[in-house]
Amino acid sequence: MELKITCIPGDGIGPEIVAEAKKILDTVAEKYGHTMNYTDILMGGASIDAYGVPLTDEAIETARNADAVLMGSIGGNTSTSPWYKLPPNLRPEAGLLAIRKALNLFANLRPAVLYEELAGACPLKEEISAAGFDMMIMRELTGGLYFGERRTVEENGVMKAIDTLTYDENEIRRIAVKGFDIAMKRRKKVTSVDKANVLDSSRLWRKVVEEVAKDYPEVTLEHMLVDNCAMQLVRDPAQFDVILTENMFGDILSDEASMVTGSIGMLASASLNDSKFGLYEPSHGSAPDIAGQDIANPIATILSASMMLRYSFDLDKEADAIDAAVRQVLKDGYRTVDIMSEGCTRVGCRQMGDLLAERIR
């Protein structure tokens, strides 16, 4: 199988971690008989330096013509970088918003996994962390309160701000279908999170999700109010498989879920459109203070590449091989500096990639 991938190395540690992800993808391709066809484009600060804008139309077109996009991290130090003296629409992060819009990436996937070997980093009590967890937050990315009509007005001498939360049934249905499709590749359980006891948009959300669920009889569906879900994430995170929710709730819950893993350097993410196309990136930032020192943790980007194989190419066996390699390297006691603990062997970014490639072979 030929995989046509657009790569965005990005800024800071981005080029280093993307290089290791490519190393792993090439190893997988060699073992399983695939061909990797990479095309690099610039985005973020690197694009600003080269072209004066965080993302060019040509770069968008290159990404659109690929099967998937693999991205490192973008941006720099917001207090010292000249990029952040530019208008907001010309800053590095504007490129990310632009590519999401241009490619219609409406479904955000953020896995939160607590590896047994990293349980000590989990901030929850030991009796909770000992059970481990492996969940996927499925967040609608282009609708809801963040994209609704907004305005600030003065009425009778009093300032008033208005933000509108709007969803139509088609927006809900397409993210629900994605959520159930993802659940079919996992443990076949969906927890749909809303605020249906208060919000009309949530009542419509619940109605449409229940309609979609009828097409997935193998998947168990449960509904949970968002405030209860926030509590359950710290009380019993092991109960969750796929959490399906709207934009603002997903923004908050995915950050909460990532923190209970205790290790942001291990967290992948993906943004998908209504086809198999997706943009895959680590959840962490560009860490410009450690760029070029070979100490960055590439695992989040490598796990993002695993998600790409699974969700854009349906190469589950190949994705399983990457995931298994990550678990084995952790079990063997190898750590980058961000996840280092007593009794383990510290390795750099490139060596971590080499170790993972060895285990895949």
What residues are labeled active site?
A: 146, 195, 227, 251, 255
Does residue 202 come out as left (phi exceeding 0), alpha (psi in the -120 to 50 range) or beta? alpha
Dihedral sign for Cα 209, 212, 213, 214, please: positive
Q: Of 113, 125, 110, whose CA–CA distance to 261 is shortest?
A: 113
Dihedral sign for Cα 64, 68, 70, 71, please: positive
Give how far Cα 309 sits from Cα of 3, 5, 69, 254, 322, Å.
9, 11, 11, 22, 10
3-state secondary structure of 97: helix
DSSP assignment of 33-52 = T-EEEEEE---THHHHHHHS
Give the C-alpha separation, 196 to 130, whole Å: 33
- Residue 209 in tokens: 């999700």
Give the C-alpha separation, 289 to 161, whole Å: 38
Give the C-alpha separation, 267 to 253, whole Å: 14
Q: Compute how many other C-beta atoms are within 10 angstroms of the C-beta atom of residue 112.
A: 26
Is the separation of the CB atoms in 150 and 164 below 8 Å? yes
Is the separation of the CB atoms in 291 and 17 below 8 Å? no
SS (H, E, C) 236-252: CHHHCCEEEECHHHHHH
DSSP assignment of 174-221 = HHHHHHHHHHHTTTSEEEEEE-TTT-HHHHHHHHHHHHHHTT-TTSEE
Angle at which helix 14-32 crosses helix 349-360, to 10 degrees, equals 10
Is the separation of the CB atoms in 119 and 136 below 8 Å? no
